Amino acid sequence: MRKQVSISAPPVDEDNQFDVIVIGGGAGGLTAAGVATNIGADTLMIEKSKLGGDCTWYGCIPSKALLKSAKVAHTVQHADAYGVDAPNASVDFAAVMERVRTLRQDVYEEADAPEIFEEMGIEVAHGTAHFVDDHTVAIDTEDGTRHVRGDRIVIATGARAVTPPIEGLDDVPYLTNHSLFELDEQPARLAIIGAGPIGIEMAQAFTRLGSAVTVVEMGDRILQNDHPDLTRMLRSRLEDEGVRFVLEARVERVASSDNGSIRIHAVQDDAEHTIAADDVLLATGRVPNVEGLNLEAAGVEYARNGIPVDDSGRTNQCHIMAVGDVTGRYQFTHMSEHMAKTAMTKALLKVPMSFDTAHVPWVTYTDPELAHVGATEAELEANGTSFATYRFPYSKVDRAITDGDTLGEIRVYATAWNGKILGASILGARAGELISELALAMRNGVTLRALSDTIHPYPSYGLAVRRVADQWYAQKQSARVTRWVQRLFGYSGPVIEPDADRIV
């Protein structure tokens, strides 16, 4: 941690004094400013680039737009599986990328443009912000420096892609999520370093669009935070589509070749492998944007992995809050928004609120999708928690059968005696939507019994949640109780012995 005594700031006139100053106009900053002004606070939001942040320009929106185009291409190329003849299907990569850029501009204009927030009463300032003292912020622009003062200040400056210390990397062109969506020419061979969500999503997208993709990962599997059985199933699907994985491999160096390609030298099992590519995408994680803020002047503690905050977003300076990726706590747009809402509500209304860390969902938007909420199976086992795992395969979901999307499984971790949900993992079509029902159930104490007793429409993917909940009833079945009922009512049917592996 770093901490330094602040210096004196120049006087600030009344027009430059605010109830709340928000530094950063990404998901967290936009939410913080919106909540503050709705509560009645005089609010200033500072952004050095375009509002919307990484999600709109370099992350969620463009990546999902690209994944959609890739899925359409894949569906058309395999249309014969649905009895449809679609000859001569081809991909216009430049048109695909133009669509991606058009959609993110549309989202910006509909949701993130400065005029939208100015109409709400928020002043939007464009420039680079840094602290002068714990209440004063300087905004550097081409026209000079403006000093503003805030009773409360929110740091929401986000994060950026990590550039790993690989020999030769500075001497070759490489892509990150900031440059990937500016491509107009499709790489015939794309190497991706890192098998996290960004790397895996883009591996499938570019493969389906026609690139030969190789993913290099230091770990022994993809998507380390997700259930190994489910990631194994997903990896198999991706390999079937053509993605090549080089796991447990350490990239030692990269270099340009005489023909303009890039050669990646990686060590795996003490043997060196050389991977040739036309482009390299770095997907090795993200680092919080704290440089240039002059946090020392405000006395705000920070480290390379972010600004530490308590469970309501306060830094060590209680009138200064930090939300979203800059805290290093979560790397999800939805958590940035949740953190901002919690932080501002507590700070301005004194309502005793804290972050909901027990029900954080995440989704990797591959096809099929991979989602999770709550505790993982490994965490529950490590903590010695008593639980049972309830499973339901997509191969038994009638809607998945009609759609031809039968790869996947729902796993719910719950207490055996009353069906209290502790966590859930889903691999399958629309997993991102299904996990929301389970997150809602967890937060509000809805048990598997209650889910099982709730009518779900048929045939729908949502019905799969009820079907997995049915497994709780099935595993509660007791042969002893059945025999007692038979004696009581004179029934003579078979007695089904309980079986944890039986799917009903």
121 labeled part of a ligand binding site? no
Tokens of 473: 């009833």
199 is in an annotated binding site: yes
> What is the β-pairing status of strands 421-428 and 279-282?
unpaired
Helices (H), 355-478: 377-382, 398-403, 431-443, 448-452, 463-476
- 198 labeled binding residue: yes
252 is in an annotated binding site: no
Report which of 113, 101, 107 is spatially closest to residue 62, judged by C-alpha positions.
Answer: 101
Nearest CA to 430 out of 396, 458, 455, 460 is that of: 460
Q: Binding residue per annotation — 307? A: no
Both tokens assigned to 75: 């569906």
Question: What φ, ψ does residue 406 adopt, rounded to 5°?
Answer: -95, 0
Answer whether 184's CB lies under 8 Å from 93's CB: yes
64 in a known ligand binding site: yes
Known binding residue 197? Answer is yes
Q: Is 493 annotated as a binding residue?
A: no
Helix, strand, or coil here: 96?
helix
- Cα–Cα distances (Å) from 88 to 59, 74, 185, 207, in that order, read 32, 13, 21, 18
Query: How many C-alpha atoms does 456 have within 13 Å on its Cβ side?
Result: 20
Tokens of 49: 């680039």
CA terminus-to-terminus distance, the chain: 54
d(CA 250, CA 265): 9
- Quick one: tokens of 452? 């099982």
Calpha distance 188→206 (Å, rounded):
9
Question: Does residue 368 have a cis bond before it (omega within 30 degrees)?
Answer: yes
Q: Which residue has the tokens 């069906």?
A: 419
Helix axes 197-209, 228-241, angle to 10 degrees: 20
Residues 6+ apart with CB under 8 A from 137: 21, 23, 46, 129, 130, 131, 147, 148, 149, 150, 153
> How crowded is the C-beta side of 232, counted as CA atoms within 13 Å?
4
The annotation status of 325 as a binding-site residue, yes or no, is yes
Residue whose C-alpha is closest to residue 201's, from 408, 377, 63, 399? 63
Tell me how far apart the 2 most distant CA atoms of the chain are, in Å.
91
Flag whether 379 is marked binding.
no
Annotated binding site, which residues? 64, 194-201, 217, 285, 325
Annotated binding site for NAD(+), which residues? 194-201, 217, 285
Annotated binding site for FAD, which residues? 64, 325
